[in-house]
Amino acid sequence: MRRATFLAGLILLAILWGVVLPFADRSSFTVHMLVHMGVVACAAPLIAVSLSGTRFDFPARLPWFSPILASIIELIAVWAWHIPVLRALSEKSAPVAGLEQITFLLAGLMLWLSCLGGLKTGRDARRLAGAVGLLFTSMHMTLLGALLALSPRALYGSDEVTCFGIPLSPVVDQQAGGVIMLLVGAAVYLAGGVSLLATTLNTGIPEVSRGRGE
């Protein structure tokens, strides 16, 4: 199971970084958002599942690194790289684009590993903190996606772009990217947070029942 999820995450990264980014129109914000969401909301959790409980599970060695802190780090990374100036630099410079993608991957791995990994002792408390962290991430992803989708003017460029052969105006391209963030990013983090919360509540039920029976 671990090997399968790890390979799935690596294959997805290879497709996103080795096929989509080099051959698609990198000036398209929709393309950018597809890759972004693929890295943080799909590849990162797959790889985190495979790394949890192994020697690469850094939250087990750093119990102070909470999911809340990881969520704040991801918020800073995501919002910073969507500042128009940095977005423009990433489109024009391959090294900057590489730094951007590595930042997204590391931020995503830190968040998902802090939620799924860690020491066995206090696991319920970490799951609960993980649920809060993922729900908070879902909220700020929703906010950013809504701002981008509802903005009446283009924030990223003024020229028509091509998204997988489809010509798009700058405003439509940006709005499509915002919708992708809303549908993919917000939904995945919301589902993860709800799943962790449900797991925490379910593991607590037997203990409560035993206590009442005594």
Which pLDDT band holds residue 78 (cuts at 50, 70, 90)? very high
Please report, rounded to a whole number, the percentage of residues in the chain having pLDDT higher than 70.
Answer: 92
Residue 87: predicted pLDDT = 93
Is residue 119 left, alpha or beta, with left meaning phi > 0 and alpha meaning psi from -120 to 50?
A: beta
d(CA 3, CA 20): 24
Q: What angle do CA 101, 163, 39 make, to 5 degrees?
A: 25
Question: Does 153 reside within a domain?
Answer: yes
Question: Does 212 reside within a domain?
Answer: no
Residue 67: predicted pLDDT = 92
Is residue 33 left, alpha or beta, with left meaning phi > 0 and alpha meaning psi from -120 to 50?
A: alpha
C-alpha count within 13 angstroms, C-beta hemisphere, residue 105: 17
119: pLDDT strictly greater than 70: no
Question: Does 10 reside within a domain?
Answer: yes
Over residues 180-208, the pLDDT tens digits come to: 999 998 889 999 999 888 887 886 544 43
Question: Does 176 reside within a domain?
Answer: yes
Residue 204: predicted pLDDT = 56
Question: Does 210 reside within a domain?
Answer: no
Range of the domain at 21: 2-53+64-202
Over residues 89-98, the pLDDT tens digits come to: 998 899 999 9
Can you give the pTM of this predicted structure?
0.88
Residue 209: predicted pLDDT = 42
Total domains in the chain come to 1
Over residues 126-181, the pLDDT tens digits come to: 888 899 999 999 999 999 999 999 988 999 988 899 988 889 999 999 999 999 99
Question: Does 58 reside within a domain?
Answer: no
Question: Does 132 reside within a domain?
Answer: yes
Question: Does 31 reside within a domain?
Answer: yes
Q: Which helix (H) or strand (E) holds 176?
A: helix 170-180
